[in-house]
Amino acid sequence: MATQESFMRRAISLASQNVREGLGGPFGSVVVRDGEIIGEGSNRVTSSCDPTAHAEMLAIRAASAKLNNFDLSGCEIYTSCEPCPMCLSAIYWAKLDRMFYGNTIVEADAIGFSDEFLYKEIALSMDERELDATRLLEDEALESFNLWAQMEDRISY
């Protein structure tokens, strides 16, 4: 019978295998529903030249594809390391019920994977962030929002 520990071991195994194969960083993740793995991912940032190809993101994408649903309520995620801000946000967006993690962000920082800057930036107002951001065409940009607000058959998420 599958246990929480066995799912975490799978996430850890994916992370180690990823390093051995030279496909990306030491991160692995699985999404589980009703005691069954429905999505797996390991970090593919460098091998796919995709900065969003984190283990959690790929596991969420695989689970969503398998269920044909963007709402992963009723599922849990097991990840070999405490998620970065992007992955943590995706976990919330996917409505996962619970998260289990192995390594911490402090341990990740010790081997060169630091998210401290991102966590600090997110907490700042737009004009205090290091990223230069300028608003353009705000009136034109509102068109799509107005169209969405008027749609009677929109799928909210």
Alpha carbon distance 36, 31 (integer Å)? 8
Tokens of 143: 């068109």
Q: Any catalytic annotation for residue 56?
A: yes
Q: Which of 36, 56, 107, 143 is catalytic?
A: 56
Instruction: Determine the pLDDT at residue 56.
Output: 98
Tokens of 150: 């008027």
What residues form DSSP beta bridges with 76? 32, 98
Mean pLDDT of the chain: 96
Q: What confidence tens digit (pLDDT) does each residue in 64-93 have? A: 999 999 999 999 999 999 999 999 999 999
- What confidence tier does 157 reach under pLDDT thresholds 50, 70, 90? confident
Instruction: Determine the pLDDT at residue 156.
Output: 86
- What confidence tier does 1 reach under pLDDT thresholds 50, 70, 90? confident
Q: What confidence tens digit (pLDDT) does each residue in 96-129 have? A: 999 999 999 999 999 999 999 999 999 999 999 9
Q: What three-state secondary structure class fits 102?
A: strand
If phi > 0 it is left, if psi is from -120 to 50 it is alpha, else beta; for residue 22 that is left
Please state whether the predicted TM-score (pTM) of the whole model is above 0.85: yes
Q: What confidence tens digit (pLDDT) does each residue in 25-59 have? A: 999 999 999 999 999 999 999 999 999 999 999 99
